Amino acid sequence: FFNLFTLITLYFKIRKVQPDKILVFTIKINILVSLICYFSEYKLINNITGLGSSMINSKFMKLIVVTLLKFSLKKSSMIFFQNNDDKNFFIENNIVNENKTKVIRYFGVNINKYKYSPLPDRDKGLTFIYFGRLIKDKGIFELVDAIKIVKKTYPETIFKIVGDIDYNNPGYIKKELINEWKNKKLFELNKFQIDISKFIQTSDCVILPSYREGLPKSILESLSIGRPAIVTNVPGCRDLIIDNFNGLICEPKSAKNLSIKILQYINLNKKVRNKMSINARNSVIKDFNSDNIILEYINIIRSI
Tens digits of residue pLDDT in 171-227: 899 999 999 999 999 999 999 888 899 999 999 999 999 998 989 999 999 999 999
pLDDT tens column, 25-60: 888 888 899 888 887 888 999 998 877 665 656 677
pLDDT digits (tens, 9 = 90+) for 85-101: 989 989 998 888 899 99
Look at residues 51, 194, 207 and name the one whose alpha carbon lies nearest to residue 140. 207
State percent of the chain over pLDDT 90.
72
Q: What is the pairing mode between strands 78-81 and 21-25?
A: unpaired
- Could you give the residue ranges of the DSSP H alpha helices within 18-167? 27-37, 52-57, 59-72, 84-92, 140-153
Higher-confidence residue: 245 or 57?
A: 245
- What HEC string does 172-239 produce? ECCHHHHHHHHHCCCCEEECCCCCCHHHHHCCCEEEECCCCCCCCHHHHHHHHHCCCEEEECCCCCCC
Give φ, ψ of 109 to 5 degrees.
Answer: -140, 145
Q: In terms of Cα–Cα distance, which of 207, 137, 216 is closest to 173? A: 137
Average pLDDT, integer, range 148-155: 96
Read off the pLDDT band of 70 (50, 70, 90). Answer: confident
Cβ contact 114:289 at 8 Å: no
How many other CB atoms are found less than 10 A from the CB of residue 2?
A: 6
Please tell me the distance from the alpha carbon of residue 204 to that of residue 142, in angstroms, as a whole number. 20
Burial class (CB in 10 A: 0-12, 13-18, 19+), 262: buried
Instruction: Say what the pLDDT of residue 56 is.
Output: 59
> What is the Cα–Cα distance from 90 to 109, expressed in whole angstroms?
26
pLDDT (tens digit per residue) in 180-192:
999 999 999 999 8
CA–CA–CA angle 152, 171, 256 (5° rounding): 25
pLDDT value of residue 3: 86
pLDDT exceeds cutoff 80 at 20: yes
How far, in Å, are 128, 157, 185, 206 from residue 178 at the CA level? 18, 19, 11, 20
Query: Who has greater pLDDT, 279 or 66?
Result: 279
Taking the alpha carbons at both ends of the chain, their separation in whole angstroms is 34
Amino acid letter, 246: N
Cα-Cα-Cα-Cα dihedral of 274, 104, 15, 43, to 10°?
A: 170
pLDDT score of 286: 93
- Determine the 3-state secondary structure of 158 from DSSP: strand
Asked if the model's pLDDT at residue 106 lies above 80, the reply is no
- Segment 133-138 mean pLDDT: 94
Give the pTM. 0.87
